[in-house]
Amino acid sequence: MKRRKYIYLLTLIGIVAGFVLLSLFVYYFPESPLDIEFSEEVQEHRNPFMDALMRLVSWFGYMPWSAAIAVATAIIFFILRYKKEGLFILLTLLSGLVSSGLKLLINRPRPTDDLVEILEKAKHQSFPSGHVIFYVTFFGMLFLIMRHHHNFYKPVRWIVMSICIFLIFVVPLSRVYLGAHWFTDVTAGFIAGLFCLALLGYFYLVKKAPAMASGQQP
């Protein structure tokens, strides 16, 4: 147990260090060749189907829909008498505060139309991506619950987990594709989201009820 906690602590330190290094990079290179080239590569394959798909993937991350989805999911868990799961789903909304705070602190401008194609005009600061932070935290937490809760009907668990994985890994591409973010923005969002998920996941799994572990409904 002590060894696991030590590994967990080192992982958190590594996540924080990675975010700090990336923040310093974008501070000194706000329009890096890496970001511009990545955006050009992603947007090179534009077509009407991809435009619609990338907009759909990003839809879940806009307010008020992101909050509504989280609250609705929590209500479902509460109705099914999974109060702990509902609470942790609601706690994923705190990732929005993390996102807003980091954006204000770093204050990086959005990509401009002289450098990339802007398919979707976004507001506020660019770094890190709030969409990615929310997706990794919320859908990551939902995946974790489905993964460790064997009470739910197995096909439902697998469908939910598959959707979560798809959205978590496609949303970074969608944000770059739509011209709303740079590559370093979505990378930082992924790192920050992992940090939020690691904290929530730790307390959820460590305090997990014995009934859950044995596959019985609390």
By C-alpha distance, which of 78, 175, 106 is closest to 134?
175
pLDDT greater than 50 at residue 8: yes
| Cα distance between residue 62 and residue 104, in whole Å | 18
Domain spans of the chain, in order of start: 2-213
Tell me the C-alpha distance between 189 and 130, whole Å.
6
Per-residue H/E/C for 113-124: CCCCCCCCCCCC
pLDDT in tens, 89-141: 999 999 999 999 999 999 898 998 888 889 888 878 899 999 999 999 999 99
pLDDT value for 6: 82
- HSE of 98 in the Cβ direction (CA atoms, 13 Å)? 26
- Give every CB contact of residue 191 below 8 A, 6+ residues apart in sequence: 15, 18, 19, 22, 128
Residue 26 in this model has a pLDDT that exceeds 60 = yes
Calpha distance 193→57 (Å, rounded): 17
| Model pLDDT, residue 99 | 93
Place of tokens 């450098």: 115
Give per-residue burial for 40-61: e unless 16+ CB within 10 Å, then b.
eebbeeeeeeeeeebeebbebb
Residue with tokens 């806009």: 62
Q: Across residues 5-28, what is the average pLDDT? A: 90
Residue 205, pLDDT > 70, answer yes
pLDDT digits (tens, 9 = 90+) for 175-202: 999 999 999 999 999 999 999 999 999 8
Helix, coil or strand: residue 181: coil
Q: Where residue 1 falls among pLDDT bands split at 50, 70, 90?
A: low
pLDDT at residue 45 is higher than 90: no
Peptide bond into 64 cis (omega under 30): yes
Tell me, what's the pLDDT at 9?
A: 87
27 in the Ramachandran plot: left (φ > 0), alpha (ψ -120 to 50) or beta? alpha
Looking up tokens 């909050």, which residue turns up?
67
Q: What pLDDT is stored for residue 207 in this prediction?
A: 63
Predicted local confidence at residue 208, as pLDDT: 57
List the single range of 4-8, 144-148, 202-206 with lowest mean pLDDT.
Answer: 4-8
Q: Is the pLDDT of residue 68 over 90?
A: yes
